[in-house]
Amino acid sequence: MVHVHTLEARRPRRADAARNFDALVAAGRQAFAEDGSSASLEDIARRAGVGIGTLYRNFPTRDDLIETLYLGEVEALAQAADEVADLEPWPALEAWLGRFVAYVGTKHALLDGLNRESTVLLECRSIMLGAGEPLLERAQAAGDVRPDITIGDVVKLVSGVAAVASFDDDVQRNRVLGLAINAIRT
């Protein structure tokens, strides 16, 4: 069953409309990455090479655009879990958590301005936890991760470290993340 809250379900069927939708999503992702939650809708339309009317036809409100971008990030995170599933249990979990860190950075830029009552956010949380849980369980079954750890624990731990803004550089952030991730190992 396809959820209403998947990127593909939101994408228009007509080829030209789908191209505009894809261009707006790509431009929105770039604008929010560069400008954070203050990204301008006019700038996003310009980057996508479409008029503001086309943006509003696809995304009637700012929240519609942000939800769609967020959904795309969560779907990419779920896809990343599939892509690492053939690795050994610990490297698979570690690789997915690396992708999760990138997601956390994007998530903050997107969620700053979003209405928290969104049903899409709840569904995204369940997609994300559902993607990581089998990787965690495999690592636990292999004896690599403590048995008392839940996917919720891991997500909160990594999110907390990834969200800290006071790192001197990426090297320090990655070192501290490594310390955090190693805390769940047996």
The mean per-residue pLDDT over the stretch 5-27 comes to 84
pLDDT tens sequence across 19-65? 999 999 999 989 988 888 788 999 999 999 999 999 999 999 888 89
Average model confidence (pLDDT) for the chain? 86
Alpha carbon distance 44, 47 (integer Å): 5
Contact 24, 44 (CB under 8 A): yes
Residues 112-126, mean pLDDT to the nearest whole number: 71
Instruction: Quote the percentage of the chain above a pLDDT of 90.
Output: 44
Question: Within the chain, which residue ranges are assigned CATH 1.10.357.10?
Answer: 63-182
Q: State the pLDDT confidence band at 111, using cuts at 50, 70 and 90.
A: low
| CATH 1.10.10.60 placement within the chain | 7-61
Residue 128's pLDDT is what? 87
pLDDT at residue number 66: 86
CATH superfamily of 7-61: Homeodomain-like (1.10.10.60)
Residue 109's pLDDT band (cuts 50, 70, 90): low
Q: What is the DSSP string of 19-60?
A: HHHHHHHHHHHHHHHHHGGG--HHHHHHHHTS-HHHHHHH-S
**Residue 155 to residue 159: CA distance in whole angstroms:** 6
One of 3.20.20.10, 1.10.357.10, 1.10.760.10, 2.60.40.420 is the CATH number of 63-182, namely: 1.10.357.10
> Which has the higher per-residue pLDDT, 99 or 148?
148
